[in-house]
Amino acid sequence: MISMLSELVEKAKVSKKNATLILVGGGSSLVPENTKIEGVGHIKKPRFYFVANALGASLAQVSAINEEIVYPSMGLDPKTQLQTIQEKKKAAFKASDDKAKALAIARGAKEGTIQVSHQTQTMSYSDG
């Protein structure tokens, strides 16, 4: 484990000088502060180092996903199809956005801070 830490420190260092290694989280209790690690001049463990991950997790942003498959052209009159398809797509996005926002709020997000991103994929097929 010490050799793995040494390799990671060497990859992260920005100079050839020995680095100060600050350890936090549950795994940091496996490395005593007096451990000799190549490339490390000093090891520090801040007060409450053992709960650093819990603190980070508590500050993380809330997310929510809503996935839907929409067939916007089903049941449409061919004469007005293009405009109606666009309207159906727009309505489907709004409904999906509203569902994702409601889910994010239910998980603890603040209403005014929600950002929605879309990813769409058009799938085509042929009968032959």
The beta strand positions in 29-128, using DSSP E, are 40-44
In three-state secondary structure terms, 15 is: coil
pLDDT of residue 41: 92
Q: pLDDT digit string (tens) for 89-127?
A: 888 888 889 999 999 999 989 888 898 887 776 766 655
pTM: 0.49
Would you state the pLDDT for residue 117? 85
Q: What percent of the chain has pLDDT over 90?
A: 17
Give the CA radius of gyration of the chain: 26
pLDDT band at 29 (very low <50, low <70, confident <90, very high): confident
The dihedral of CA 70, 71, 75, 80: what is its sign? positive
Strand, helix or coil for residue 68? coil
Strands (E), 1-128: 19-22, 40-44
